[in-house]
Amino acid sequence: MTVRDRPGRDALAPPLAQRRRVLGLMAASMALAGCDPGGEDRALLPPVRQPPGIQPGGVNRYASVLTAGGEASGVVVTHRSGRPVKIEGNPNHPASLGATDAVGQAAILDLYDPWRAASLSRQGVPQAEGVLLEALAALRTGFAADHGAGLRLLTGSVVSPSLARAIDAVLAAWPGARWHQWDGIPRDNVLHGAMLAYGQPVAVVPRLEAAGLVLGLDSDLLETAPGHLRHARFLAAGRNPTRADTRNRIYAAEATPTLLGVRGDHRHPAGPQEMHRIVMGLAASVLRNERPEGWIAAVTGDLKAHPGRALVHAGPDLPAEAQALVHAVNEALGGRGRTFEVIDPPQRDPVLQEDSLRALVADMADGRVRVLVILGSNPVFTAPASLGFAAALARVPSSLALASAPDETTDAVTWFVPAVHELEDWGDALAFDGTAAIAQPQLLPLQGGRSPFELLPLLYGFTAGDARAWVRDTWRDRLDDTAWREALSRGVVPGSAAPALPVALRAEAATLAPPAPPSGLALRIRPDSHLGDGRHAGNAWLQEAPRPLTRVAWETPVLISPQIAARERLANGDVVRLACGTATVTAPCWIMPGQAAEVVVAVAGGGRWQAGPVGTGVGSDVTPLRGQSGVVGLRRTGDHVAIACGTRADGGLELSRDVAKRMAAAQQQPKPSPQPSLYPPRSGGGAVQWGMSIDLNACIGCNACVIACQAENNVPVVGCEEMLRHREMHWLRIDHYDEGPVETPRTMLQPMLCQHCEQAPCEIVCPVNATVHDAEGLNLQVYNRCVGTRFCSNNCPYKVRRFNFGAYAREESRPPATRNPEVSVRGRGVMEKCSFCLQRIAEARVAADTAGPAAAEAGVVTACQAACPTRAFSFGNVADPDSEVSRRKAAPLSYAALEKLSTSPRVSYEARLDNPNPALDQDD
């Protein structure tokens, strides 16, 4: 099977001449409209008129909040001429601390997606809004007879107090109605385990700033766990001994590599049976002071030796009984009030969502549901196939879905009502620790649409609600007008974090025993790190960014262990057939170094059949496997699919060439003296000399910096076919280096970008002087001179230059609204590369004309630096010995990649320093 033989792939990897059809996702006809994000009057203004408070070419920033899967993260949206163009993290918000993840960075692209719905429809036929109002009026008449007994609401987890109040109003008006919840990939085991441990729904909030030892059990602490950006910040803060007073130590036992595992000092591949032994051994050692065997013996000894500083984190795959045991262990280790806290959940009325959805399906199948209203959920695609949601939905006489873009559920309901984007709407949300934030619209709705606050009142009243008034009324008792404006400005409601609960651990929690898993090949279903449950499948930035750890793009393959690959004679891209229970799925495979021997991981989020021209048909749909139990069967089909993949270096060759360095604490050596050079020293230069230091102890490979660079610098999307030809355009990549056995490798992660060499090999070979140095040490690319000889790329030892093979910028039809007007849009036939965000440096120079040179140096933050949740990047003036970047470069761990070449890069790295347990072999 070739790429073109596979359904859906030909639409994503067409010939270059047809790229306009593929990458036309970003054309938005109304994107050039301006608005006043801060004023009370939000009338749309034509572009020929200047919005109030906006300076031409100036920058304005407004706080808001983004939510996904029941988690809220504070953001700051940058506007140019009244138009949002870039998203950064809100430093005032506890869930972001000024950082973002890849999904948050790419949300600006979703805002301008032309495939968002523009008009409501009934069974696929566009309708006037008056027809919907008449239909809702008729439904209200029917509700009056039985107090709404036939009405059901289906939402995701609700962390918005205002939305919860609107749902409460519907349920109060119609007492017979019922509310159900479904997130796509719920965290039911986590909630159930907390209920078993504490007797009520609670949220257990890790406090990694106080944790000196962390044990992750199939942990998603740095990926999808609530508050993962904050956790990454504080975990990384204790990794570099030159930046922290004390160092933490990380253990990880997991079925497949995670971001926490590859950053760990000791990583142990563990399938379900091994994980069961680890959990039981952990409980026996900590709770009953028994002595376990094997790997866990040394780990528990270390944990018990540090009471009050040790934390165990269990991922959502562990059964509820194991979750409860972990809570009992953390309590016994003295972590309550130190390394973790117990609070009320930020979600309103949290439930076991699979049970909730099963009850809804039963009611629909039995004809007890006359009206179903779905808000922001896509159960037709994400619900386990064994539940039969789609078939039960067909039995509902009237159904309505509110969604921002067409999806599988909107195709199956009676009424499809377009929803406004989060950045176009008023709202509020509680963070993982209960801190509240107010979301304010960044512009008027580009495609129309309704807010949930406008729709829900129509279920019990005669007029639609007003979103701003509804949210303001929610907070009126707590925030007066002055405090309301302050909350909008700062992006958080001060003092709103949830207090600690005085709930006690149940005695039964320490005696629970998780069920023993069956022997044989085990199946794990994990959400795609970029696409989630599939809700982001239509975002080309997220599709094209290589996934952390696998480096795969434009695909969701089945991950198999090297042992399975050797036994079944499989290679990357070979198509396999998975069978579990009554379900069968066919998908290409990808060999994952370090994965447990008898574990297969099916990546959810791909295989959408209604996700616009970008996401439709990309990847494999593994939802039929959800809800199935038992041992999985795997066999090869003989077909093969070419899979686009970013760079990945396996083996020790690159490490021996001093590209990425790691060492144990005992191996730390003083910084070597500079290497002699055959190049003459570069003389002259200005008072400001720019440079960067990257801490490999902090980098977790999350790809936030990659998407931030793409959004900031107008880096185009090239599509799957061009990536298969190795023509990706990302200016920044995350290199992977695996050393050691493929079954238990040690992985190094290294951001690689233009090194801005003082003795740059690219400059001396350019025949047209297109790559030059400026007085501030920047290696510049003059696009108007470049004729595309590619000599500079051939002579670059770091391979960080990208040749623009196609007219990507023109053919993707990316609207000006999503482009940074301060960065030129490149045409085909020129070289592109990192510029240290030269446009931001230029803005600082302008600011320095009025505020002085110090303001210029302090005001420059590169896009990758701003997005990074772990603060791995330091940037600034290396001519100033007191600057942060100068201190980082003077640290004992600092080194230059390929230093023996004497290119004198302005980018330096700090070697990764492990903190192994002497009782364990470092290679374990």
Q: What DSSP element (H or E) covers 143?
A: helix 129-146
What was the pLDDT predicted at 856?
60
CATH number of the structural domain 203-343 = 3.40.228.10
Residue 877 CA to its chain's centroid (Å): 31
- Beta-carbon contacts of residue 469 (< 8 Å; ≥ 6 apart): none
What was the pLDDT predicted at 435?
95
Q: Where are the domains of the chain?
A: 203-343, 688-739+746-914
Q: What DSSP element (H or E) covers 877?
A: strand 873-877
Residue 32 CA to its chain's centroid (Å): 28
Contact 776, 689 (CB under 8 A): yes
Flag whether pLDDT at 682 surpasses 80: no
Contact 351, 342 (CB under 8 A): no
- pLDDT mean across residues, the chain: 87
Which stretch of 352-356, 381-385, 845-849 has the lowest confidence by average pLDDT?
A: 845-849
Which stretch of 195-209, 366-380, 431-445, 816-830 has the lowest confidence by average pLDDT?
A: 816-830
> What value does the mean pLDDT take over residues 358-371?
95
Q: How far apart, in Å, do the first and last CA atoms of the chain sit?
A: 39
Which residues are registered as beta bridge partners of 894?
Answer: 910
**Residue entry with tokens 């085991």:** 189
Model confidence at 57, in pLDDT bands (50, 70, 90)? low
Three-state SS letters, 64-97: EEEEECCEEEEEEEEEECCEEEEEEECCCCCCCC
Residue type, 923: D
The per-type count for the chain, helices as H runs and strands as E runs, is 30, 39
Flag whether pLDDT at 709 surpasses 70: yes
Flag whether pLDDT at 496 surpasses 60: yes
Domain 688-739+746-914 - what CATH class?
alpha beta
Report d(CA 597, CA 593) in Å as an integer. Answer: 10
What was the pLDDT predicted at 576?
95
Report d(CA 130, CA 132) in Å as an integer. Answer: 5
Model confidence at 653, in pLDDT bands (50, 70, 90)? very low
Local structure of residue 235 (DSSP, 8 states): H
* Structural tokens at position 158: 């609700």
Strands (E), 221-285: 249-254, 266-269
**% of the chain exceeding 90 in pLDDT:** 68
Contact 222, 231 (CB under 8 A): yes
> What value does the mean pLDDT take over residues 312-327?
96
Contact 668, 913 (CB under 8 A): yes
Instruction: Answer whether 0.85 is exceeded by the pTM.
Output: yes
Contact 62, 440 (CB under 8 A): yes
Q: What DSSP element (H or E) covers 225?
A: none
Report d(CA 111, CA 125) in Å as an integer. Answer: 24
Model confidence at 16, in pLDDT bands (50, 70, 90)? very low
* Structural tokens at position 450: 């309704």
What was the pLDDT predicted at 59?
83
Report d(CA 96, CA 905) in Å as an integer. Answer: 32
Cα-atom radius of gyration of the chain, to the nearest Å?
Answer: 27
What was the pLDDT predicted at 847?
77
- Which parts of 742-895 fold into alpha helices (H)? 761-765, 791-795, 808-811, 838-851, 853-858, 863-867, 884-889
Local structure of residue 724 (DSSP, 8 states): H
Burial class (CB in 10 A: 0-12, 13-18, 19+), 477: exposed
Angle at 428 between CA 425 and CA 434, to 5 degrees: 155
**Residue entry with tokens 């006359």:** 370
Closest CA to 510 of 722, 718, 290: 290
